[in-house]
Amino acid sequence: MADEPLILGIETSCDETGVGIVRGHTLLADALASSVEEHARFGGVVPEVASRAHLEAIVPTMDRALTEAGVTLADIDAIAVTSGPGLAGALLVGVAAAKGYALAAEKPVYGVNHLAAHVAVDTLEHGPLPEPAIALLVSGGHSSLLLVDDLARGVTPLGATIDDAAGEAFDKVARLLGLPFPGGPPIDREARAGDAAAIAFPRGLTAAKDLAAHRYDFSFSGLKTAVARWVEARQRAGEPVPVADVAASFQEAVCDVLTTKALAACRANGIETLVIGGGVAANSRLRALAEQRAEKYGIQVRVPRPKLCTDNGAMVAALGSHLVAAGVAPSRLDLPADSALPLTTVSV
């Protein structure tokens, strides 16, 4: 629909420089530059390396997005940018870029919440999101369970990880097993040939005593340690490590906890829609298990395609589009990058 606003989104909260362009719920462009390979040898994201890469990538990535969408910056109605949470120095490049584009093109700018954008991106694939909905966001940086009452104005945090993020656990276990970084895709691949019931790894914060205080929180640190101990015991005994079985059993433990808690949140709140986003949402077992379990309760699971689950500019544009449609006022030009932006703030 040509009369819907044309929105540009910029994402630089971690190691991906993303520029996306949407019209309404229609995705027109999703250009991405990643510095992931520069971080691989460190086993995690190095903030200064990521920030330098964003500065180099932003202009060419913008060019690619505009070409892909067949529009110019003069055609854009508003610019949305991730203003937090994320790596402070990395966010700052994107926020300053958005302001530069907004200033020069004389367009409004919206500083938006990265996590809310992970929820909003699903509208590009499945249309308007029924509200309220429950959102499970799992990646190398976040593991959160949210109640989405009104995506334009506020999201209620229900729970989060109390130690490692889910994706971080994948990275660390992959390292133990001699698999590459980031660990999600290789573990998913190995697990297909393994037995998920081979090893009984712990499910963090699922015991009755933990549920009282941490009903919707996650913990993956104990699981990671348990995998490390199990693998080391094998190695000390001089026995081969059954990589596929370890990967499958570890992955099952993570997916079991994530889906159990997410569906419990849906049922406790009488909610029929579960959205899953973040890099770990690309995990095939998580998708399958969530769908299989949700079916029993008549809950609909919405998971965008893998490229939209990981960090990208389209998700920011999608949230911007939602904000513009809801009549939310744009941000001021002094909008800060806020590495700890709370979830209750969807736009600043």
Q: Provide the 10 A C-beta neighbour count for residue 312.
A: 24
* Among candidate residues 151, 112, 111, 114, the one with its CA nearest the CA of residue 134: 151
231 binds another protein (CB under 8 A): no
306 binds another protein (CB under 8 A): no
- Work out how close the CB of 42 gets to another protein at its nearest, in angstroms, rounded to a whole number: 5
92 binds another protein (CB under 8 A): yes
95 binds another protein (CB under 8 A): yes
67 binds another protein (CB under 8 A): no
- Work out how close the CB of 307 gets to another protein at its nearest, in angstroms, rounded to a whole number: 20
- Tokens encoding 73: 């910056």
CB 8 within 8 A of CB 78: yes
Strands in 273-277's sheet, in edge-to-edge order, are 154-160, 143-150, 133-138, 273-277, 300-302
Nearer to another protein, 127 or 180 (CB): 180
15 binds Zn ion (CB under 5 A): no
Segment near another protein (CB under 8 A); pick from 18-26, 48-56, 127-135, 286-294: 48-56
Choose among Zn ion, another protein, none what residue 103 binds, the Cβ cut-off being 5 to 8 Å by kind: another protein
- Work out how close the CB of 77 gets to another protein at its nearest, in angstroms, rounded to a whole number: 15
Beta-strand runs (E) in the chain: 6-11, 16-23, 26-34, 78-84, 109-113, 133-138, 143-150, 154-160, 273-277, 300-302
CB 34 within 8 A of CB 122: no
- Work out how close the CB of 139 gets to another protein at its nearest, in angstroms, rounded to a whole number: 8
- Work out how close the CB of 343 gets to Zn ion at its nearest, in angstroms, rounded to a whole number: 13
71 binds another protein (CB under 8 A): no
Contacts to Zn ion from residues 285-314, by CB under 5 A: 311
- Work out how close the CB of 105 gets to another protein at its nearest, in angstroms, rounded to a whole number: 5
Max CA-CA distance within the chain?
68
* Among candidate residues 267, 257, 260, the one with its CA nearest the CA of residue 222: 257
Contacts to another protein from residues 116-155, by CB under 8 A: 139-142, 144
3-state secondary structure of 192: coil
Choose among another protein, Zn ion, none what residue 234 binds, the Cβ cut-off being 5 to 8 Å by kind: none
Side chain identity, residue 43: G
Q: How far apart are CA 331 and CA 245, in angstroms?
A: 50
Binding mask 5-44 for another protein (x = CB under 8 A): --------xx------------------------x--xxx
CB 282 within 8 A of CB 144: no
342 binds another protein (CB under 8 A): yes
Tell me the sheet residues that pair with 152.
none
Nearer to another protein, 157 or 202 (CB): 157
Q: How far apart are CA 281 and CA 35, in angstroms?
A: 21
Choose among another protein, Zn ion, none what residue 335 binds, the Cβ cut-off being 5 to 8 Å by kind: another protein
Contacts to another protein from residues 151-210, by CB under 8 A: 157, 160, 165
* Among candidate residues 295, 248, 250, 306, the one with its CA nearest the CA of residue 272: 295
Binding site for another protein (CB under 8 A): 13-14, 39, 42-49, 51-52, 55, 58-59, 62-63, 73, 85-89, 92-93, 95-97, 99-106, 114-115, 139-142, 144, 157, 160, 165, 332-337, 339-340, 342-343
